[in-house]
Amino acid sequence: MTTEDPHKPGYDSTQDVVLDARTLRGVAHPLRLRLLGSLRHEGPQTATQLASRLGESSAATSYHLRTLAAHGFVTDAPELGRGRERFWRAVHRSTWFDAPDRDAPERELGEAYLRTVARMYAENVERSITELADWPQEWVRAASMSDLTVSLSAAEAQELADDVMALLVRYRDRAADRASDGSERVAMTTQFQIFPRRGQLDALLATRTASVGGPVNAGTESSGTTADEPSDAVGGDRP
């Protein structure tokens, strides 16, 4: 599991956090991820405000906020509180994570973390689709959901991921520069996933076996994280 500076487009060591084995244990919980996401996007809040927003009890949000604080993800915002109010703020802008090695002790926890993030992505899309009908038509036309399958080497897949992130970072930085130009702007959610399409692993390992002239143990080969079968949507389709 890589815990070093990832040197990737969009990463800033002063604003972002790279998970290691300890911090992974502190954040790999569905409610903690939702709390952290809300603090990052909506700003500082109390445990009671977060409980109301997320449909949880104040006792649950308080407990998990303290756990996040113990692992360095959130901190007090005492300047915002009045009386016994306790506001919390996110410490980092975003989280970076590399899947642990196959034999790493935190492998299962890493997979659980990724599955939780994937469910949150799916829930976010569902909510966005539900709300989209009420938006002005120009914003409906601006929304997009698509997929495209391409044949790539591992190096090309990494290059594609870096290129997509670099493009998003360019738009993010440009938006910050133009924040006061009078244009109507809203926060747009962007999500992208790059995975090997399911059902190809056996053929890949068979090809490797043939090329080296010896058996390959599937348990020692890294296959990456599997992804659901792509939909029938064509790249560029719009809702």
- What average pLDDT score do residues 107-121 get? 92
The pLDDT score that the predictor gives to residue 224 is: 41
Predicted pLDDT of residue 215 = 55
Q: What are phi and psi of 106, to 5 degrees?
A: -95, 15
| Cα torsion angle, 112, 117, 123, 125, sign | negative
Q: For 152-172, write each residue's pLDDT tens digit.
A: 999 999 999 999 999 999 998
At 233 the pLDDT is: 33
Percent residues over pLDDT 70 in the chain: 86
pLDDT at 87 over 60: yes
Please, what is the Cα angle at 198 between 196 and 203, to 5 degrees?
85
Q: Is 46 helix (H, G, I), strand (E, B) or coil?
A: strand
- SS3 per-residue string spanning 186-222: CCCCCCCCCCCCCCCHHHHHHHHHHHHCCCCCHHHCC
Q: Kindly calculate the radius of gyration of the chain based on its CA atoms and give it in whole angstroms.
A: 21
In the chain, what percentage of residues exceed pLDDT 90? 64
Rounded Cα gap, residues 128 and 146, in angstroms:
15
Q: At what angle do helices 58-70 and 47-54 cross, to 10 degrees?
A: 120
What spatial distance separates the first Cα and last Cα of the chain, rounded to whole Å? 38
Give the range among 62-66, 146-150, 183-187 with minimum mean pLDDT: 183-187
- Classify 1-134 by CATH class: mainly alpha
For the chain, give every domain's residue range. 1-134
* Angle of CA points 127, 168, 227, to nearest 5°: 60
Q: What is the pLDDT of residues 26-83, one digit of tens each?
A: 999 999 999 999 999 999 999 999 999 999 999 999 999 999 999 999 999 999 988 8
pLDDT value, residue 213:
67
Confidence of residue 235 (pLDDT cuts 50, 70, 90): very low
DSSP character at residue 29: S
The residues near 169 (Cβ < 8 Å, ≥ 6 apart) are 9, 10
What is residue 89's DSSP assignment? Answer: E
Dihedral pair phi/psi, residue 87, rounded to 5°: -90, 145
Question: Quick check: 149 pLDDT over 70?
Answer: yes
The pair of structure tokens assigned to 154 is 């591992």
